[in-house]
Structure 1
Amino acid sequence: MRQRFSSKLFIGAIVPLVLLAGCSQADDQSANDAAPMSESYESAAIEAEAAADSVALFETNDDSASSPIPNLSDVAINLPKLAYVYDFSWRLAGDDIGKLQRRHADLCDQQGPASCQIMGMSKNGEVGDEVTGELQLAVATRHARAFGALLEKEATETGAEQISANIQAEEMSKAIVDTEARLEARIALRDRLQEVLRTRKGSVGELVKAERGVAQVNEEIDQARGWLNEMKGRIAYSRVNIRYETGAIVSNDFLAPIQAAIGSVGSILGFIIAGLMLLAVILLPIGGIAWAGRAAKRRFGKVSVAPLADG
């Protein structure tokens, strides 16, 4: 309304001025110039309306410029709630597994408990045999990818070869929404049951059932809150699983069969020696018994018989 009123006021003020200018020009010109004067009046009116429109447009733009800009934080953005799991595997010499495992654990401790926590750590096997190790970490999701790069840097400096690197994500939005709805419903039911107990409305049997219902609903509420906290924790902290194992680090495919054959020589010799020892354990007692039998036969086999005397 204010804009329309100002526009009309502008037109009402400028049109009389244009008319006065036209009248002053009519006194100086002849009667034959009546048609040009009419045309100049029409053009002046058009210009006045255009000027009024421009003023209205300026006022409109000025009002829009003074309006506050919407804050993006007020806009509801439904982002998926994801729980990430990172899996890394490295291959290196058996005597270096413990060193790399400790370096990765120290790297986690350096980040602080708010960013990284050790969930588990194990190592199996002795140096010279097949050695394996595992390290489970809980890393803040916002730092998980950067922390994975730090793990890779430490492993590369140790001379380890990365076998695998996998990232998996689980959608938790629906589970969280369902659990929150279930929690709200149970809380409302508990409040109604507590209201019944507070007002003492109902028979003794109904009050006893209400007390039992409150206890059961409280248990379900605690369980739902536990599930909800667990899911939110999985979203806030990603699980990082690291595995270490021994094996030949091969940089050339041509040398792979040769190194495999050299590595199997010791196993083959071990099997041969074990077989010979087994045969010795079996054959030595049998050979001893056979040798003892032949010796006894040579010694006692020939019995001398004396000749009978003549009567």
Structure 2
Amino acid sequence: MKMRRSLLLPILLATAISGCGSEPASEQQATTVDIREEPPTAGQSAEGKKSEAISVSAPNAPRIAYIYEYGYRLPADRIAEVQRKQADMCERMGPTQCQILDMKQGSAEGNYASGSLSLAVAAPRARAFGAELGRVAGSAGGSQVSGGISGEDLSKQMVDTEARLRARTVLRDRLMEVLATRKGTVAELVEAERGVAQVNEEIDQARSWLAEMQNRVNFSRVNLTYEAGSPASGGFLAPIRGALGSVGSVLGTIVAMLIMLGAVAIPLGLVGLAIRWAVLRWRGRSSAD
């Protein structure tokens, strides 16, 4: 015999899923919809229902996003050449193994020059590729002066986001079932449609976060910096550059002093003229008497 009951379906309209952990839902709305429930079949049991639950387990290996830092000191006229060769090495590996993210060259001054190169390298090859990059710099007369490896464990963030993504998917499917049965008032069905739209937005957002974190795990970032010597500080032009640089400050000081003198002298001059005019007028009257 078919039974009729009221099923309370939560619609999470203000739930945010973040890659670093989800904040608790700040608002929940409930929709009451009447649906028909078929009696369980003979082969269905509580254990069978439990088997439909989604299980999320931690990954066997940690998901770590690595960043490799390498700093090279090179002759100023070799920096551009080494930078270009290392970028060519990355391009020859193909976009599935290496990608150029950023490439810059600083302006040269005297014996000083600088540059930088950022790459995204497939994680399994990143460390060995860093050694190959070092050999290119060494062959150009350079040496590695700094280096470092840092990593961020994204395992928990990714597992949490996957779990919430699956929960939203289950909720979306239930809401779709409510809309398919067309049971309930018009207001309830409209609210269910809004809930489906909101949950779909959260699902898309969570998928993009997962894709971004997975890309960070799959591709390690390799940051390269180049420098040569130090900025020029001597030579024939050094005193001239210093003098020209001080001209502006000297002229500014003179103008400031003139403004200060004008601000004091003008009022005092007006007062003096007024006093002289008053004295001359008084003398004129005295002589007339």
For the structure 1 residues 84 and 272, does the alpha-carbon distance in structure 2 shift closer, same or farther, using more than 3 Å as the test? closer
Q: Which runs of 5+ in 1 are unaligned?
A: 1-75, 249-259, 282-311
What corresponds to 2:171 in structure 1? 189
For the structure 1 residues 276 and 82, does the alpha-carbon distance in structure 2 shift closer, same or farther, using more than 3 Å as the test? closer
TM (normalized to structure 2)? 0.61
What corresponds to 2:285 in structure 1? none
Q: 2:162 aligned to 180, 204, 213, which one?
A: 180
Among the aligned pairs, what percent are the same residue?
52
Deviations 1:98-118 (A, max 9, x none): 111101101111222221111
Is the CA contact 2:74–2:137 (under 8 Å) kept in the aligned structure 1?
no
Is the CA contact 1:94–1:127 (under 8 Å) kept in the aligned structure 2?
no
Is the CA contact 2:118–2:221 (under 8 Å) kept in the aligned structure 1?
yes
Give how far 1:144 is off.
Answer: 0.6
For the structure 1 residues 221 and 129, does the alpha-carbon distance in structure 2 shift closer, same or farther, using more than 3 Å as the test? farther
Partners of 2:180 and 2:241 lie apart in 1 by 82
Matches within 5 A, 1:99-248: 99-126=81-108, 128=110, 130-247=112-229
Partners of 2:116 and 2:242 lie apart in 1 by 35
Is the CA contact 2:111–2:229 (under 8 Å) kept in the aligned structure 1?
no
Q: 1:265 aligned to 225, 234, 239, which one?
A: 234
Matches within 5 A, 1:275-290: none
The 10-residue stretch of structure 1 (264-273 or 234-243) with the greater mean CA deviation from structure 2:
264-273
Give how far 1:271 is off.
Answer: 4.9
Partners of 1:275 and 1:156 lie apart in 2 by 39
Deviations 1:194-221 (A, max 9, x none): 1111111111111111111111111100
Partners of 2:118 and 2:234 lie apart in 1 by 36
SS at the partner of 1:165? strand
RMSD (Å) for aligned C-alpha atoms: 2.9
SS at the partner of 2:95? coil
Deviations 1:134-163 (A, max 9, x none): 211110011011100000000111112322
Larger radius of gyration: 1
SS at the partner of 2:100? strand
Partners of 2:247 and 2:160 lie apart in 1 by 68
Q: How many residues align?
A: 194
Partners of 2:166 and 2:238 lie apart in 1 by 68
Matches within 5 A, 1:52-67: none
Deviations 1:25-84 (A, max 9, x none): xxxxxxxxxxxxxxxxxxxxxxxxxxxxxxxxxxxxxxxxxxxxxxxxxxx982211110
Partners of 1:93 and 1:127 lie apart in 2 by 13
For the structure 1 residues 156 and 123, does the alpha-carbon distance in structure 2 shift closer, same or farther, using more than 3 Å as the test? same
Q: Which runs of 5+ in 2 are unaligned?
A: 1-57, 252-289
For the structure 1 residues 272 and 104, does the alpha-carbon distance in structure 2 shift closer, same or farther, using more than 3 Å as the test? closer
Partners of 1:197 and 1:77 lie apart in 2 by 36
Is the CA contact 1:130–1:246 (under 8 Å) kept in the aligned structure 2?
yes
Counterpart AA for 1:152: G
Q: 2:69 aligned to 65, 81, 87, which one?
A: 87
Richer in strand (by share): 2
Counterpart AA for 1:178: D
Identify the structure with bigger relative contact order (alpha carbons < 8 Å, sequence gap 6+).
2
Partners of 1:127 and 1:95 lie apart in 2 by 11
Counterpart AA for 1:270: I
Partners of 1:112 and 1:165 lie apart in 2 by 25
Counterpart AA for 1:264: S
Partners of 2:222 and 2:185 lie apart in 1 by 57
